[in-house]
Structure 1
Amino acid sequence: MSTDHQFFEDFARRWVDAWNSGSTDRVLELLHPDITWDERVFWPEVLHGREAVRVYVEAVWRAMPGYRMEERQLFTAPTEGRALVFFRQTGRGPAGLGENRSFETQGCDIFLGFTDGLLSDYTATFDIVDMLRQLEALPPRGQLKGGAYLMSLPRRAEPVGARGARGGEPTP
């Protein structure tokens, strides 16, 4: 199967539509059965296979109710079989943070490989720190720059273990 620019435009449209549907199955049907899913902003490890990604996607729905994404720009490298979707994402935080809190951040879904027309190698990046600040799960940044804000967090926030676990899954 050819991965020309038209293929990527169609795939990106179906990708955004699947995530906006809130349907795990619609997301998974775009993935090759042997997908490598390397998204360690939200998840602690690389995932392999559709069923592993199912757990991830369902955790997203729980952690970010009302999740929506909007394509800002599609970048393609057809001869390499790769593409990147620069997106805007919005949603609410989990019930434990208060249902009236919301976020709006930007990120990139990076499609590194396709097999038989299905996504087989994936990574992503987005600003989870800003998302958590918007959800009031992290303290305000103030005038701290770069890593100084992150380095200040262990001294400013309660230990992660003190918040309790949610079934062992990562939380945003």
Structure 2
Amino acid sequence: MEGTAPADFGAGWVSEFGTRWLDSWNSHDPERLLELMADDVVYDDSAWPRTMRGRSDVREFLDAIWRAFPDLTFETVGSAHVSVDGPQAAFRWTARAAHRGRLDPPGLPATGKRVAFAGADFHEYHDGKVARLWTVFDARDLLVQLGVLPKSGSTAEKAVIGLHRLRFRLLRSRIDR
């Protein structure tokens, strides 16, 4: 999918679009956010198990995320990075929320824990809307904050790794027979 730049595409346009994008996410109004995306948007997000294609897929994602984190808010970090290769930009952000509802997938019940994490969005624009979107963040860090995974260097992490090594040795001994 090759993007088409708005006539005034540049740092100013991207900054204004970025403000509308962030405000739309923080409004929790799916229609407001979806309006900024092309009808055939392609969206990959670290929080979702599959590539979303089209607004209905994105709507399903938004419903799931906002159900799990009803107070999810984003703040941008620094300025947008505007590509010289075409109508593309990247934004760094931080997010904060409390886990108040079931997180699907994978079906994690609400923990009530507050989380804060950082990530980045990579946009490709077509006709002034996001046509291709990649969102990346440290999912492991989020899962540690939610208490799903053990903290790095903890006794619990060492125990999990020890169990994995034992499992590997057992599997390898079966293969060697």
User: Distance between the aligned counterparts of 2:92 and 2:162, measured in 1?
Assistant: 28
The 8 Å contact of residues 72 and 87 in structure 1, kept in 2 or not, is answered as: yes
The ranges of structure 1 where at least 4 consecutive aligned residues each deviate by more than 3 angstroms after the TM superposition are 151-155
Cα displacement (A) at 1:153: 9.8
Query: What is aligned with 1:80?
Result: 86
Structure 2 residues without counterparts, runs of 5 or longer = 1-5, 102-108, 165-177
Cα displacement (A) at 1:154: 7.9
Cα displacement (A) at 1:47: 1.2
The 8 Å contact of residues 109 and 124 in structure 1, kept in 2 or not, is answered as: yes
User: Distance between the aligned counterparts of 1:49 and 1:59, measured in 2?
Assistant: 16
Q: Deviations over 1:111-131 (max 9, x none)?
A: 0x2111111011010011111
- Superposed, 1:1-172 pairs within 5 Å as 1-2=6-7, 3-39=9-45, 41-73=46-78, 74-95=80-101, 96-99=109-112, 101-111=113-123, 113-142=124-153, 152=161, 155=164
User: Distance between the aligned counterparts of 2:163 and 2:32, measured in 1?
Assistant: 39
Over aligned residue pairs, what C-alpha RMSD do you find?
2.2
Structure 1 residues without counterparts, runs of 5 or longer = 156-172
The 8 Å contact of residues 5 and 78 in structure 1, kept in 2 or not, is answered as: no
SS at match of 2:94: strand
Q: Deviations over 1:13-39 (max 9, x none)?
A: 011101111111111010000101122
Identity, in percent, stands at 26
User: Distance between the aligned counterparts of 1:36 and 1:98, measured in 2?
Assistant: 31
Per the normalisation by structure 1, the TM-score is 0.78
